[in-house]
Amino acid sequence: MKKQLLLIAVAALLAGCDDAKEPVSFTPEMASFSNEFDFDPLRGPVKEFSQTLLNEKGEVTKRVSGTMSKEGCFDTLELHDLENNSGVALVLDANYYLDAETKEKRLRLQGKCQLAEFPAAGVTWDTDDNGFVVLATGKEMEVKYRYDEEGYPLGKSTTSKDEHLTVASTPSKDKRKKLDYTSLSTLNDKPLGSVKQTCDYDSHDNPLSCTLDVVDLSVSPQVTHKYSIKNTIAYY
């Protein structure tokens, strides 16, 4: 009897360990912001992070960085597109994100820290019952967003006048390697480009570094560009 009890206890302990190792789902804020602002979503109690995209020459082309509260809100978010010489730095202030330099109100929020409105562009965001942004509407534009059961962003579809742009992402079947994905972009149902990404991960199942093959399918012969991503992540 004692031996049976011991085996039951060990089995229960192992089952508890398995449960503890289940990957953490993506929060509505992390998933929605990454879907909207085009960066890789992260899991777990992230305190601050940066994602740097480099081209084949090792030159930085894009960089995203942010700090987060323990509740999972983006306290700050910086987006820099060096190729197009554009960027913005946002800082959380009550229910708005302000321009870090001018202190102008840029984005209005709903709830604690979810996207609600971009007044200057006339864009509003709607969420589902779980708090994920699923729809953005503007004067002549509509964007629909999709996620899987873990909150991983599966892409978006943008309709503007007579143009329909769709980005569909297929993540790895390994739940711990969601950022190993392939995606296909189409414009009016014609292939525009594809991406294949493969990453190395940390103990939180977040990517530390990745390689990307980006294929331009709109030209003949098709052209492949190779990129890499270097990430830094600090946790609470």
The tens digit of pLDDT for each residue in 176-219 reads 999 999 999 999 999 999 999 999 999 999 999 999 999 999 99
User: Encoding tokens for residue 27?
Assistant: 């929060």
pLDDT at 7 over 70: no
Q: How confident is the model at residue 12 (pLDDT cuts 50, 70, 90)?
A: very low
Q: Average pLDDT of the chain? A: 92
Where are the domains positioned within the chain?
A: 24-235
Tell me the backbone φ, ψ of residue 16, rounded to 5 degrees: -65, -40
**C-alpha separations of 215 from 31, 98, 167 in Å:** 25, 36, 14
pLDDT at 14 over 90: no
User: Encoding tokens for residue 149?
Assistant: 């059961």
Under 8 Å between Cβ of 81 and 36: no
Confidence at residue 20, expressed as pLDDT on a 0 to 100 scale: 52
pLDDT tens track for 36-46: 999 999 999 99
Cα–Cα dist 207/180, whole Å:
9
| pTM recorded for the entire structure | 0.88
Least confident of 12-21, 59-68, 158-167: 12-21
Confidence at residue 95, expressed as pLDDT on a 0 to 100 scale: 94
Under 8 Å between Cβ of 121 and 108: no
pLDDT tens track for 107-159: 999 988 999 999 999 999 999 999 999 999 999 999 999 999 999 999 999 99
More confident residue, 16 or 85: 85
Q: Does domain 24-235 have CATH number 2.40.160?
A: yes
pLDDT at 15 over 80: no
Confidence at residue 88, expressed as pLDDT on a 0 to 100 scale: 95
